[in-house]
Chain A
Amino acid sequence: MNKVLISLSVVVIALGSVMILRYQQISPATQPFNPLPQLLKSEANGFNAVKPGWQYVFPDDYGAHPNFQMDAWYFSGYLTSTQNQLFGFQMTFFRFALAPEKAASDSVWASNEIYRAHVAITDVGRKQFHVSERFGRAKLGAGASQSPLQVWLDDWEIRMPDENQSRFQIRATTKEINLILDLEIVKEEVTNVDTGAGMPPFHGYWLPRLRASGRIELGSDTITVNGIATLSQVWGGLSLYRGQIALNRFVLQLDDKREILIFQLRRRDGSADPINTGLLIAPDGAVRRLSRQELTLSVLEHWQSSKGDVRYPARWRLQIPEEDIQLDIVPMLRNQELNLSVRYWNGLVKVTGISAGQVVSGAGQVELTAYAPDPSL
Chain B
Amino acid sequence: MHRTHLFNEGTSDAKPMKFGILTPALPLILAGLLTSAVLLLVACGGEQGKPASPPTIAPVGVVPADVQRPGDPRKGYQLLVNTPYVTCGIPYSAYRQTAEPPAPRLLLPGREGRNAELPYWLTARTTDAGVELVTSNCLSCHAGFFNGELIVGLGNESIDWTIDLVLAAEGMGMYIDNDEDAVEWRKWADRTASISPYTMTDTIGVNPANNLTLALIAHRDPKTLAWSEKFLLQPPPEKPLPVSVPPWWRMKKKHAMFYSTEGRGDHARIMMTATLLCTDTIAEARKIDAYAPHIRAFIATLEPPEYPFVIDRKLSNTGREVFEKNCSGCHGTYGVDWTYPNLVISLDEIGTDPELARRAVEDADRFIHWYEQSFYGENTRIEPAPGYIAPPLDGIWATAPYLHNGSVPTIDLLLDSTRRPAYWTRSFDSRDYNKQELGWRYTALKYGKAGAASSVEKKQIYDSSLIGYSNQGHTFGDALTDNERAAVLEYLKSL
By a beta-carbon cutoff of 8 Å, the part of chain A in contact with chain B is 4, 8, 49-52, 194-201, 239, 241-245, 247, 265, 267, 269, 271-272, 275, 277, 289, 291-293
A49 to B18, CA, bound (A): 9
The interface residues of chain B, by DSSP majority, are classed as helix
A8 to B168, CA, bound (A): 12
* Contact of A241 with B175 at beta-carbon distance under 8 Å, contacts A51-B16, A198-B163, A200-B19 already known: yes
A243 to B19, CA, bound (A): 15
CB–CB A245/B97 < 8 A: no
A275 to B170, CA, bound (A): 8
A52 to B18, CA, bound (A): 9
CB–CB A244/B173 < 8 A: yes
Cβ of B129 within 8 Å of any chain A Cβ, yes or no, is: no
CB–CB B164/A198 < 8 A: no
CB–CB A245/B170 < 8 A: yes
User: Could you list some 25 contacts between A and B, CB below 8 A?
Assistant: A4-B167, A49-B100, A50-B18, A51-B16, A197-B21, A197-B168, A198-B168, A201-B18, A201-B19, A239-B174, A241-B174, A241-B175, A241-B177, A242-B177, A243-B94, A243-B173, A244-B176, A245-B170, A245-B173, A247-B174, A265-B167, A267-B186, A269-B182, A275-B167, A292-B164
A50 to B185, CA, bound (A): 24
User: What are the interface flags for B440-458 relative to A under an 8 Å C-beta threshold, 1 for contact and 0 otherwise?
Assistant: 0000000000000011100
Apart from A197-B164, A198-B26: 8 A-B pairs, beta carbons within 8 A: A4-B167, A194-B454, A200-B20, A243-B177, A245-B171, A245-B173, A265-B170, A291-B164
Please indicate the chain A residues that have their CB under 8 angstroms from the CB of B177 in the complex.
Answer: 241-243
A197 to B189, CA, bound (A): 14
Instruction: Report the minimal beta-carbon distance from B413 to chain A, rounded to whole angstroms.
Output: 29
Q: Which of B21, B167, B456 contacts A292 (CB 8 A)?
A: B167
Residues of B159-194 at the interface with A, using a CB-CB cut-off of 8 Å, are 163-164, 166-168, 170-171, 173-177, 182, 185-186, 189-190, 193
CB-nearest residue of chain A relative to B164?
A196
User: What are the interface flags for B1-41 relative to A under an 8 Å C-beta threshold, 1 for contact and 0 otherwise?
Assistant: 00000000000001011111111011000000000000000
A242 to B181, CA, bound (A): 13
Cβ of B326 within 8 Å of any chain A Cβ, yes or no, is: no
Cβ of B475 within 8 Å of any chain A Cβ, yes or no, is: no
CB–CB B176/A198 < 8 A: no
By a beta-carbon cutoff of 8 Å, the part of chain B in contact with chain A is 14, 16-23, 25-26, 94, 97-98, 100, 163-164, 166-168, 170-171, 173-177, 182, 185-186, 189-190, 193, 197, 454-456
CB–CB A199/B16 < 8 A: yes
Please indicate the chain B residues that have their CB under 8 angstroms from the CB of A293 in the complex.
Answer: 197
CB–CB B97/A241 < 8 A: yes
CB–CB A277/B171 < 8 A: no
CB–CB B175/A197 < 8 A: no
A143 to B22, CA, bound (A): 35
A241 to B170, CA, bound (A): 14
Instruction: Report the minimal beta-carbon distance from A221 to chain B, rounded to whole angstroms.
Output: 43
CB–CB B97/A198 < 8 A: no
CB-nearest residue of chain A relative to B20?
A198
* Contact of A198 with B17 at beta-carbon distance under 8 Å, contacts A241-B97, A244-B176, A272-B190 already known: yes
Instruction: Report the minimal beta-carbon distance from B126 to chain A, rounded to whole angstroms.
Output: 21
Instruction: Report the minimal beta-carbon distance from A272 to chain B, rounded to whole angstroms.
Output: 7
Please indicate the chain B residues that have their CB under 8 angstroms from the CB of A275 in the complex.
Answer: 166-167, 170
Please indicate the chain A residues that have their CB under 8 angstroms from the CB of B455 in the complex.
Answer: 194, 289
* Contact of A195 with B20 at beta-carbon distance under 8 Å, contacts A239-B97, A244-B185 already known: yes
CB-nearest residue of chain A relative to B100?
A49
* Contact of A271 with B20 at beta-carbon distance under 8 Å, contacts A244-B174, A245-B171 already known: no
A272 to B21, CA, bound (A): 18
A302 to B94, CA, bound (A): 33
CB-nearest residue of chain B relative to A50?
B18
CB–CB A198/B19 < 8 A: yes
Please indicate the chain B residues that have their CB under 8 angstroms from the CB of A195 in the complex.
Answer: 20
A291 to B137, CA, bound (A): 28
Please indicate the chain A residues that have their CB under 8 angstroms from the CB of B190 in the complex.
Answer: 271-272
CB–CB A199/B171 < 8 A: no
Please indicate the chain A residues that have their CB under 8 angstroms from the CB of B23 in the complex.
Answer: 198-199
CB–CB B164/A52 < 8 A: no
Nearest 8 A/B pairs, CB to CB: A198-B20, A198-B23, A197-B20, A245-B173, A244-B173, A243-B174, A197-B167, A245-B174
* Contact of A196 with B163 at beta-carbon distance under 8 Å, contacts A4-B20, A241-B177, A271-B186 already known: yes
A242 to B25, CA, bound (A): 25
* Contact of A292 with B171 at beta-carbon distance under 8 Å, contacts A198-B25, A244-B185 already known: no
Please indicate the chain B residues that have their CB under 8 angstroms from the CB of A244 in the complex.
Answer: 173-174, 176, 182, 185-186
A233 to B469, CA, bound (A): 41
Please indicate the chain B residues that have their CB under 8 angstroms from the CB of A289 in the complex.
Answer: 455
Please indicate the chain B residues that have their CB under 8 angstroms from the CB of A201 in the complex.
Answer: 18-19, 98
Q: Which of A199, A265, A271, A272 contacts B19 (CB 8 A)?
A: A199
Please indicate the chain B residues that have their CB under 8 angstroms from the CB of A194 in the complex.
Answer: 454-456
CB–CB B186/A198 < 8 A: no
Please indicate the chain A residues that have their CB under 8 angstroms from the CB of B19 in the complex.
Answer: 198-201
Instruction: Report the minimal beta-carbon distance from A55 to chain B, rounded to whole angstroms.
Output: 16
CB–CB A199/B18 < 8 A: yes
Please indicate the chain B residues that have their CB under 8 angstroms from the CB of A196 in the complex.
Answer: 20, 163-164, 167
CB-nearest residue of chain A relative to B189?
A272
CB-nearest residue of chain A relative to B12?
A52
Instruction: Report the minimal beta-carbon distance from A40 to chain B, rounded to whole angstroms.
Output: 14
A198 to B19, CA, bound (A): 6
Please indicate the chain B residues that have their CB under 8 angstroms from the CB of A200 in the complex.
Answer: 19-20
CB-nearest residue of chain A relative to B175?
A241
Please indicate the chain B residues that have their CB under 8 angstroms from the CB of A241 in the complex.
Answer: 97, 174-175, 177
CB-nearest residue of chain A relative to B456?
A194
* Contact of A8 with B171 at beta-carbon distance under 8 Å, contacts A198-B21, A199-B17, A199-B18 already known: yes
Max count, chain B CB within 10 A of own CB: residue among A195, A197, A271: A197
Instruction: Report the minimal beta-carbon distance from B164 to chain A, rounded to whole angstroms.
Output: 5
Please indicate the chain B residues that have their CB under 8 angstroms from the CB of A242 in the complex.
Answer: 174, 177
